[in-house]
Amino acid sequence: MAAAAETAQFALREATARDVDRLLRWFPDEMSVRVWGGPTFRYPFTRHSFAEDMQWGRIASFSLVAADDEAAGFGQLYERFDRINLARLVVEPGRRGRGLGRRLVRCLLDEGRARFPCAEYSLFVYRDNATALACYEALGFRVSPYPPGAPLADECFYLTRPVFRPQPP
The DSSP secondary structure of 1-19, one letter per residue, reads -HHHHHHHT-EEEE--HHH
Peptide bond into 145 cis (omega under 30): no
Reference 33, options 55, 152, 25, 41; nearest CA is 41
The ranges of the chain with pLDDT < 70 are 1-6
pLDDT (0 to 100) of residue 148: 95
The DSSP secondary structure of 70-119, one letter per residue, reads -EEEEEEEEEETTEEEEEEEEE-GGGTTSSHHHHHHHHHHHHHHHH---S
pLDDT (0 to 100) of residue 1: 46
pLDDT (0 to 100) of residue 84: 98
pLDDT (0 to 100) of residue 111: 98
pTM for this model (two decimals): 0.94
pLDDT digits (tens, 9 = 90+) for 4-44: 656 779 999 999 999 999 999 999 999 999 999 999 999 99
Side-chain half-sphere exposure of 65, counting CA atoms within 13 A: 17
pLDDT (0 to 100) of residue 4: 62
pLDDT (0 to 100) of residue 7: 74
pLDDT (0 to 100) of residue 165: 79
